Structure 1
């Protein structure tokens, strides 16, 4: 474990060194592109090289595809460094539990897709992979119960209960979602009765759904669970903001919790340098210059794999809308500086959309002085620069996510707990695709 700790510390150090060097780039708001002349903030060699580059070329470079466009060595070195330091986003081979599914599970051929009813495609992928992964770790931890925080409609614990036979408890703050979850349980059992015997039905574990709003670790310690739940695993599929760190702390401090499987989400909502902060968690990272701005944490939640794929296909014209918004920001600031970052209507780009029509749609129902569209006409000629700048910022985003995840790993390692990170989900389907797993030996 000592060597693992040192390896993780070294990785964090290197990531933070790059992040701090390019913090100025990470913290640029695309919204202010024309107001603050962001293009001129790029190094001169970068400007010259990227001036006429097709964004498709950047997508190819970031995706490792061959390209004839020559970039400055400093930029190529940056991309290479990001790739080598970031936690891999692919490579998980779907390790399965070799033990057979229990005989009392919903294993009838007619019930094969019963757990995917009412579930959207993205969620289907996530809950199927997560359930397999959680079941494996439950077996390795000799644990027969799991508690899912932020369980929503209960799709994940429904699989864990009915398919894998685990005692499952879902914690959800919204009462309506809990009521719907119980309704879906009843629907599943109604369908299952058509194909299973009475004995099989009697052995099914119905999940338990609870309403709790968590705000402190003390509530977790006092959580009232079923008497059937003594030792259990903690699971969280994209718990928002500080909830993820809160669950990790509970796992470390509670003897009853034997393992944890958690997928991060909404890093921009993490509290920073507070008493119960979500980042940094580990003592080591707390001792470093480890600050991550809201802007950098926000872009770390974007879908880089899908974005690069779109660039590689040359499908980036709809991104022109970001240049339109930046140009509109410049016009609004010219009218009145107090209008800076004023909320406006979100507008999707269409092939025949002009800047004038964009402004009309964005400012619908807002009364103000007429805009002088001609004042930004020359800016909009360079709309691809906005796409390029956003791409450069997004290229750095995996380093920010890596630091946040490794900080959580270090926190568990500092407390003597075996842990690891696995890129379980397909990143093109689920951008936050890493599961942190910790098990108490």
Structure 2
């Protein structure tokens, strides 16, 4: 296991990860609805299958956490040991206030995230700075920041309904914050700072010589890279603390489905991908934001069986569709067994997407053929999920470390002295997307 600190070697890590992930990209390169159609179960090494079959439920649960049985095959042990050598540990924070009553409308997960992110921001920010809450949603973080430290906050969200709801919630529950917390409807892009600066001057006229800090809980998809770029390109934005999520929603570049606008950002990751860029695909990004080993290790055998069966059935159904066809799950699922699980889905066609089509003899024949060819399909599907869970932290590391490396590169290019770090909320079982990117400009040196 590697430790992330100020001496972390980004280029070396990206190169080692890229080589490894290219070798095992069959584990994640297709979405889990396509693995039967893509023949992924046939790529599971027979020795790995034997090892996984021999594993107890406890052993299966601990594999993504680094467990290795010395009696397993050498190639499987090599895979697991290489994964362990590429896992990165981060400084952890836990300012949990679980004993306090939940704020109205908040789940324990969101309460935990907001309380922890609030403390991180408190430690970085002074009261004279204005906080720009990117993707403010219903205003939970903005209001908590004012409640705890009387910060001045501008909440920005691209969803007008959420902005309206946050304003209504403020007028009902947080009347004391109306002078210091404002919400605006705006879709943030890299050129938004001029608008945000003007908005702050209009809504907070008492502020002068303003310095800003960007904050964000659940900074979805491209919002996190956009926030980082805005932070780097505007001198008056001196700090950022943001929690990225939804990596699989990153925008593609042009007409390509596997070239993205905001990954890679750093030159060091870009160089490590020169020989083979194929593992940077949508399923790779999706795997980066799937469940962590913390949740996996709590599953019972019944839960493994149920998940493997559901995953296999869904992929079987996808494999029998003709061109232009798609399925939607029925709200009330049938209790039928795997032999005719297609009855759990409505069959539709792109030409008339709201109208149901009948399942034909052709579909049923193909379904039964695939079922016969994969008698242990449900079991193998859960093994595939186990392997994906092993790789999940590597995928997320690459996505997030690319952003940190980009900040380092740009700070060096612009001659900005910068404090840069990333911390992890300790309870990733409760909060799987648990990383906070932190950066602070210390001062500008001479160009």
Taking structure 2 as the reference length, the TM-score comes to 0.80
Cα-to-partner distance string for 1:310-350 (whole Å, 9 max, x where unaligned): 436652122111111222234x24xx4x257x233267889
Q: Determine the C-alpha separation between the residues in 1 that align with 2:260 and 2:346.
A: 41
Residue 95 to residue 440, structure 1, CA distance change in 2 (3 Å)? farther
The yes-or-no answer on 1:261 pairing with 2:241 is: yes
Partner of 1:367: 358
Alignment match of 1:33 (pick from 32, 35, 44)? 35
The yes-or-no answer on 1:328 pairing with 2:308 is: no
> 1:70 offset after TM fit, Å?
3.3
Alignment match of 2:24 (pick from 22, 25, 28)? 22
The yes-or-no answer on 1:87 pairing with 2:84 is: no
Question: How do residues 7-406 of structure 1 correspond to structure 2 at under 5 angstroms?
Answer: 7-51=9-53, 53=55, 56-64=58-66, 70-88=71-89, 92-94=92-94, 113=101, 116-139=103-126, 144-189=129-174, 206-214=180-188, 216-223=189-196, 224=198, 225=200, 226-227=204-205, 228=207, 230-271=210-251, 277-289=261-273, 291=277, 292-311=280-299, 315-319=303-307, 320-330=309-319, 332-333=320-321, 336=322, 338=323, 342-345=326-329, 353-356=336-339, 358-363=341-346, 365-370=356-361, 371-372=364-365, 374-378=368-372, 379-406=374-401
Residue 426 to residue 289, structure 1, CA distance change in 2 (3 Å)? same
Cα-to-partner distance string for 1:136-161 (whole Å, 9 max, x where unaligned): 1114xx75321111101100010111
Q: Residue 403 of structure 1 aligns to a residue in which SS?
A: helix
Q: Is the 8 A contact 1:272 1:280 kept in 2?
A: no
Q: Residue 92 of structure 2 aligns to a residue in which SS?
A: coil
Residue 143 to residue 420, structure 1, CA distance change in 2 (3 Å)? farther
Q: Determine the C-alpha separation between the residues in 1 that align with 2:32 and 2:10.
A: 32
Q: Which stretch has the larger CA shift, 302-311 or 419-428?
A: 302-311
Q: Is the 8 A contact 1:305 1:431 kept in 2?
A: no
CA RMSD of aligned residues (A): 3.0
Cα-to-partner distance string for 1:232-276 (whole Å, 9 max, x where unaligned): 110111212111101001111111111101111111222356799
Q: Is the 8 A contact 2:135 2:156 kept in 1?
A: yes
Q: Determine the C-alpha separation between the residues in 2 that align with 1:423 and 1:431.
A: 10
Q: Determine the C-alpha separation between the residues in 1 that align with 2:304 and 2:108.
A: 24
Q: Which stretch has the larger CA shift, 295-304 or 352-361?
A: 352-361
Taking structure 1 as the reference length, the TM-score comes to 0.81
Q: How many residues align?
A: 401
Q: Residue 248 of structure 1 aligns to a residue in which SS?
A: helix
Residue 178 to residue 93, structure 1, CA distance change in 2 (3 Å)? closer
- Consecutive unaligned residues of structure 2, counting only runs of 5 or more, are 348-355, 412-417, 443-447
Partner of 2:352: none
